Structures are given as C-alpha cells and as structure tokens.
A and B are shown apart, each in its own frame.
Chain A
Amino acid sequence: MASMMTRRSMSLMKSRSMMIHGSSRLMSTSWWKHVEPAPKDPILGVTEAFLADPSPHKVNVGVGAYRDDNGKPVVLDCVREAERRIAGNLNMEYLPMGGSNKMVDETLKLAYGENSDLIKDKRIAAIQALSGTGACRIFADFQKRFSPDSQIYIPVPTWSNHHNIWRDANVPQRTYHYYHPETKGLDFASLMDDVKNAPNGSFFMLHACAHNPTGVDPTIEQWKEISYQFKVKGHFAFFDMAYQGFASGDPERDAKSIRIFLEDGHLIGCSQSYAKNMGLYGQRVGCLSLVCEDEKQAVAVKSQLQQLARPMYSNPPVHGALIVSTILGDPDLKQLWLKEVKGMADRIIGMRSSLRENIEKLGSPLSWEHITNQIGMFCYSGMTPEQVDRLTQEFHIYMTRNGRISMAGVTSGNVEYLAKAIHEVTKAA
C-alpha cells in the first residue's frame, strides 16, 4: 500500500528513524517539526492581548461579548433563575444526536414565528448546534456532502470565522459586494449585480440582522428585492442569525429578513445562536435548521445532519440547552428575557449616540453618522489598520484591525476616552 507521503515528511521520517535506532530509550525527535505556529485568531487574539496589557486605561472593544455600563460581563437574571431551577436536579445523560427537542422547538419559533405553518407542518429539519459556529459548520459540511459542486457566496466583509468554516468544510468561496466604504453603508447596487450575475442556484450566506462586522443591514424594501431576485435566480439563502433581539431590541423585528424570504416561499437554511442574546457565550448553544418540502424530507435531512454531528462531537452539550428551554418554555421567564434583551440593545443604541456626539463635539472634520446608522453590536468605524494600531499602542484600546468597534464594550465610563482617542488618530485623515 503506497503511502502518499510528502518529500518533507519522508526526510523527517528518515532523520527520525536514524535517531531512534540508536536506543529505544532515547528521546524521539519530534514528529512536529514541520508544524508552524498558527497566526493568532484576529478576533479572539485581541482579547488575549487586552488581558496581557497592564495599563489602567485599557479598553476592550474587540470581541462581541456584551458588557454592562461598568464594563462587566452580564449573566441575565432569567438565566440565573433558570440555572437555579435546573441545578442538580436532572441527570446528565447524553442528549440525542440532534440535541434537545424542546430547545430546538422553542428556537424555531423565534426564527420562523410562533404560528409558523412550516413548524406545524413539520417541514423544518433542525438540530441543536454548537452555537452559531457549529451550526454554520454543520451546514457547510452538509452543503459539501449533498451539493458537492456548489460554492458559497460570502459578503465582503464578514465575520472572519465564516471563511475558516467553509474552507475547512472544503466548500469553495466566492464573495459578493456588501459594504460601501464611501458611504459606510450598504452597496446595494453592487450587491444586486452580484446576485444577478451569480450562476442560477447559487448558495448565499446572508446575515439576517446586525451584520457583523459592519452593523449595516438592508432595509425592509431592500430585503424584499433581494428575496425577489433570489427567486428569479433560484438561489439558496442561508441566514446566519447571531443577534436576534440584539439589533432592534425586538426579536420579531430582527427576524424580518427571514420572514420576508419565507413569505416568498424560499426554502432557507438558518443558523441561530444564543451566545449574545441570552448571554450564553461559553455554553455553546445554537440551532441549525433547513426548510424542506415536506415532513418526510425533513426527517431524512435531519438524519443526515445528525450523521454529520456524530463524528464531530456525538451529541451537543446539555447545560445551555436546558437554560434555553427553561426560559423559553416558561411565559414569565420568557417575558423577563425579552425585557433583558431589549435592555441590552437599548444600552448599545444609547452608546452609539453618545460616542457619535462625543467625537463630533471634539470638532472632527469627518462624518460619524454611520455610528448611529449602523445597528447591532458592532460599528464599522472606517478606521484603517494603522489607525487601529495607534489606538492600541498609544491609547491601549483593543479592537480588530478592520476598524470594527464592539459597541457592547463602550460604557459611559469610557466613551469620552474612546472618542478622544478616535478623534486623535483620525483627525489628520
């Protein structure tokens, strides 16, 4: 059986073997010489750097994790209560491969609507997933397995991990226009051109709301046009919805793009995450769903999704799922949650106004209206990587080099400092 070793690993083998035959007690040379250090993750690496900084002024507006006005992580009251209820009571038996049915059912209602016919008709194949990342990854693997010749169209820019996910799933990537640097808004005309020019039946990944990293969302009218054009072209729409509730404060409103597509009869795919809107970041809770023609197909598709999950992690973690189903299954807790989500969204909307006002007060020659036009956790500031580096080196302000500010990290305590720093590095631009 011929081994397809590369020359490099062959020579590695040889030198290793020469060393070994000396004595079986001799320390082996390493198998791993050819393994290079991986570059730091552009997003999660920011927090690592932030944590290592001793400066008392440091500000972390890097990773999209919500902070309260004191800059502290928040565990929602509804979550604490849910945890009290579930602590120690239930056993920890394996969930089914598709995860908690109860949690999935509640989650589908959020995306598809409480009274969705698709849910009633059992036309949705859905599994609990490892938050948004896991949902996207299983979808990407599913796409590779069942549409092996397809590609994925990804907006420019997008969350950097999207590229990693489809790449590791071996699905070739194309991009479509999205962000318009001149207006710091949506490049709608180019987006539509790309949709029209893509081959019929292409797969597109869309951010359902609160686009990451730009915070730029299509209007309702624009969504309707996109949906219409997708129908004309027979494209497949995969929605990544990581911020439902977080954008406007109202989950129903934030799901509008999806509802438009559903009304138009699209058979969509959807990734949902509870990392931000329920503050369950580290619990890794989410859902992957695919709309099918009928119940029978949904059953078959779900079985195949499970088939992908089994050799990846067997079955998903229970704790976060229990929290979700406890909250969403109890009307009072659900109301509390809705209130808390709105509270988080409102604080961010307030910080947007505050940041913009503060920069404008300093007499900046540039326009900063995009700060309040954009929506959700992030603001695409328009700053260059060099300006961002200055922010970090001179002001100990941490953000990703694409100029994305996580508004969740902005507080009434640091907004002035942040405004000053931004003004400082951009005033000469």
Chain B
Amino acid sequence: MASSMMSFPSVSPSAAMSFQDKCKDKLKPGSAFFGKEKQPLSMKTKSHGRVTMAVAVNASRFDNITMAPPDPILGVSEAFKADTSDMKLNLGVGAYRTEELQPYVLKVVKKAENLMLERGENKEYLPIEGLAAFNKATAELLFGADNPVLHEQRVATIQGLSGTGSLRVAAALIERYFPGAKVLISAPTWGNHKNIFNDARVPWSEYRYYDPKTVGLDFEGMIADIKEAPEGSFILLHGCAHNPTGIDPTPEQWEKIADVIQEKNHIPFFDVAYQGFASGSLDEDASSVRLFAARGMELLCAQSYSKNLGLYAERVGAINVLCSSAEAAVRVKSQLKRIARPMYSNPPVHGARIVANVVGNPDFFNEWKDEMEMMAGRIKSVRQKLYNNLSAKDKSGKDWSFVLKQIGMFSFTGLNKAQSDNMTDKWHVYMTKDGRISLAGLSAAKCEYLADAIIDSYHNVS
C-alpha cells in the first residue's frame, strides 16, 4: 500500500529541546504543524471513522546520534576491501591465510561438517551452557584430559560466543560478584578488551608489558604493576601468543608472575585465543594455564576456536572458571548461565558440534594437530623470511631479531601511528595503528615487499 506520507528534509532539532518538548509542541493547538514552515516531522492525514485528524508522526529519537568510529581492527579489512591497488596487502585482522592469501577451511572441519550433514542432526536449542560434548572437550583441551582439576569437577565451563563472548560473560560475572574490583590488562592488549570491560562496567587499568626499547617484555614493569594493584584484582593474561605484540613470558617468568599473583591475592584471568597457533603444539601452548592450575590457584580462562580451528565466523569459544571445589564450580556455572540467558539465551550449535566432533574423534584430532602444525609452521617460516629480508635490506644495522623472538600470529613492528599510516598510504599495507601486523596474512612471496615497506616507514617517517 503506497504511503501518503509527505516527507520533509531532515532538520537537526536544537539540542536543547527534549523529545517530549518537541512532541508537545507539535500537538499544541495552533502549532506550526499546519503552517508552511518546514517541519522535521512528516505529516499524515488519517481517517478514524467519523473524525479526520492530522496527527504528528513521531520525530526520530535518534537525531543526536553520531557516527561511531570505525573499529580499529575490523575497520582495517573494510578499508582494505576498498583499496584498488594491485600491491595491497591485508595484515590487519588476525585471520589465517594460505600462501596464496586465501582463507583456509581446515580439512578436518570439512570432514566434520560432512559427517554432521550426513547425520542430519536437529537444530534444537542448546542448553544455556551450550553443547555438553563441546564443554567437556574444550576443558580437556585446555587443562589436559588427565588433569586432576577435571576429575575433581572443579571447572565450571560454559560455551560462549568465541573469545569475545566468553570474556564478556566473565566480565559480567566480575561486575556482579566483585563490585569495584579492577581488571588489569597489558599495555598494549587486544583493542576490544577495554571495550568489553567498559561495556560490562568493570574498571580496568594497565600493567606494563611491552618495552619499546627492547621490543620485548618489560618484565620488571609488569611485576611491579601487578604488585601495586589493589589486593584481589583480576589480572588478564594472554595464555600464549600475546596479541598484539607476539611477546610471551618464558616459563621462568610465568612462575614469577604466578608468585606475585598469589602474594597479592589476585585472580588470574587468561585469554587463550591461539592455543596451538603459538608453538604448533596444543599442549605446549596451554602450559601457562596448566602451571597456574597445578599450583592450586583458582582462575578464569576464556577460549576461542576462531583461529586454531578456523571457525572464525561460527563464534565458538568457552569460559572456564577453575574453582577450589566442585561445589563452588556448580554455583559459579549456574551464575554464568544466568548472565548468558539475557544476552543470547543459548549459544549457536553449529561450531560447537564441529569442535566436539573434531576433538572427540581420535583420527580427526590427530589430523587437526597436523593442520595446526602446518599453519603455525607457515607463520614461523614467513617470520624467518621477513627477518631475512629486513636484515639484508636494511643497511642501518638495526636489530630486527625481535621478529623471530615474537610468537604467534602477530608481530609488533614497533612502528608508530604515523609510520603505520605510511605503510597504508604509500605501500598499501593494511595493519592496525598500533604497529601490529598479522603474519597470518603474509605470504612468502610478499616478504620482500613488506620488508621494503617497513624499512621505509621506520627510517623515513616519524
């Protein structure tokens, strides 16, 4: 049915006028509504039985809503797509690419999906806590299937919406049960961490982490800042393959971090988004979490299957809370569910089934481990190639070895914002403004080009 609305061009109302005021104005007898001036509202005449009235159509409540800034990470891909240059390179978002720079669906995932298709499983709601088989598999993957904490049923696990969603549920738990408690996040950290804690209304502050002088870990600063935090703070730790720096503590350093956390009665809160992607070994990459668990510490741990199983868009992850007793785990799990219910009711089933099928089937699991090693291996080899090119082509004598020392999908180049902008504007290399490049998006073929871009940006732009 064609609308007989007359529309007028939008006029920004004065900010001082509340929506209610605007409404009252329009409805006042003798108001300007029937007049000839331009109105911000559309007018419509409507018959209601015997009476014909012209009634104001609602003004928009969204007049004062401004455009949100583009997401610093996801916005990069959008900008990349819009670039028409042949040379363009997307080193923005941490999504694994093959040497041909194509997205990669793991073979084992395809197999699992086909199996699922054949079985023709239904699409019923999962319980609020998610797929039971997935929850079991994910906790075992994290802690190790033989870990006593699992036998003792001390871990509350619920499936979450990948890493982000799991972190968010944990943040809500902190806000609800530890009002006023702070989360300490590394400087720098993944850009979305602060958004998550902000939106969950959990106060946060930073602990020193990245040392620009060494392009390595500011270990003393980190320990000092953790020590200084109010007792009972939550310390957000990247389990492996720190994002964005790629700089991980050594096992000895992890021990010391655990010491100071215990001393200060803090609670460790791990974000494990790259298990398997750091060293290539799923077990090795979980060693930091297992170290803390072995000390009898309670901890929280968010997991994601976006990268290591390539399930990015399926949004599969989990939040685990390791408690000191099975009884506490039961209570905590019930409260995690209570947070999830008004957020999304229950998590999406498809990705969880894939994970459960892969991890639960010994053949698939072994295949996965092989593919994991292959992906991590490709990244290690482009690191090496990039380093080789940087060393060979940069005549200044700058030490580029940090590229080799860093681990995981990302490298923190040490480039500042202006230099990062140069990478994009001059070289069509897309990266985040904090100087992070995703090596997962780098091919061996492009290493030389990238080295040239980095050398140019580092030396010629300040």
Please tell me if the beta carbons of B125 and A65 are within 8 angstroms of each other in the complex.
yes
Residue in A30, A97, A319 whose beta carbon sits within 8 Å of that of B298 in the complex: A30
> Which residues in B have their C-beta under 8 angstroms from that of A292?
60, 62
Across-interface contacts of A197 in B (CB, < 8 A): none
**Given A94-B95, A161-B342, A282-B123, A317 and B348 contact (CB-CB distance below 8 Å):** yes
- Say yes or no: is B48 at the interface (Cβ < 8 Å to chain A): yes
Q: With A and B bound together, what is the CA distance between A33 and B335 in angstroms?
A: 13
Would you call A30 and B57 a contact (CB within 8 A)? no
- Spot the interface stretch: B216-224, B325-333, B412-420, B428-436: B325-333
- Chain A min CB distance to B167 (Å): 9
A147 at the interface (CB under 8 A from B): yes
| Residue A91 is within 8 A (CB to CB) of chain B in the complex | yes
Cβ–Cβ contact A41 & B341, under 8 A: yes
Q: Is the CB of B296 within 8 A of A312?
A: no
Q: How far is the CA of A52 from the CA of B313 in the complex (A)?
A: 34
Convert B116-150 into 0s and 1s, putting 1 for each residue whose CB lies closer than 8 angstroms to a CB of A. Answer: 01001011111110000000000000000000000
Answer whether residue A361 sits at the interface, using C-beta atoms and an 8 A cutoff.
Answer: no
Q: Are B313 and A310 in contact (CB under 8 A)?
A: no
- Nearest CB on A from B142, distance (A): 19
Does A213 belong to the interface (CB within 8 Å)?
A: no
B10: chain A residues at CB < 8 Å are 293-294, 296-297
Check B265–A16 contact: CB distance below 8 A: yes
The interface-forming segment of A230-238, A335-343, A364-372, A383-391 is A230-238
B341 touches A315 (CB 8 A): no
Which stretch, B195-203, B246-254, B369-377, touches the partner chain A? Answer: B195-203
Contacts of B46 in A (CB 8 A): 228, 264
Nearest-Cβ distance from residue B352 to partner chain A, whole angstroms: 9
Considering the chains assembled together, what is the distance between the CA atoms of A4 and B201 in angstroms? 14
Asked if A36 contacts B331 (CB within 8 A), the reply is yes
**Interface residue total, chain B, C-beta cutoff 8 A:** 113
Residue of B nearest to A233 (CB): B23
* A351 CB–B CB distance under 8 Å: no
Contacts A161-B345, A282-B123 given; does A35 touch B181 at CB 8 Å: no
Q: Which residues of A contact B74 (CB under 8 A)?
A: 94, 96-97, 310, 314-315
Selected from B109, B331, B347, the residue in CB contact (under 8 A) with A37 is B331
CB-CB under 8 A from A161, the residues of chain B are: 341-342, 345
Interface contact A299-B67, CB-CB below 8 Å: yes
Q: Is the CB of B330 within 8 A of A87?
A: no
Q: Mark B30-45, 1 if CB is under 8 A from A, else 0.
A: 0000000000101010
8 closest residue pairs by CB, A with B: A265-B57, A4-B180, A282-B349, A234-B23, A318-B313, A164-B342, A313-B161, A311-B195
A-B contact pairs, 23 of them (CB 8 A): A28-B298, A31-B178, A41-B337, A73-B124, A91-B105, A92-B314, A94-B312, A96-B78, A133-B341, A137-B343, A168-B172, A169-B342, A201-B19, A267-B61, A282-B350, A293-B60, A300-B65, A306-B68, A307-B68, A311-B200, A313-B315, A314-B163, A316-B315
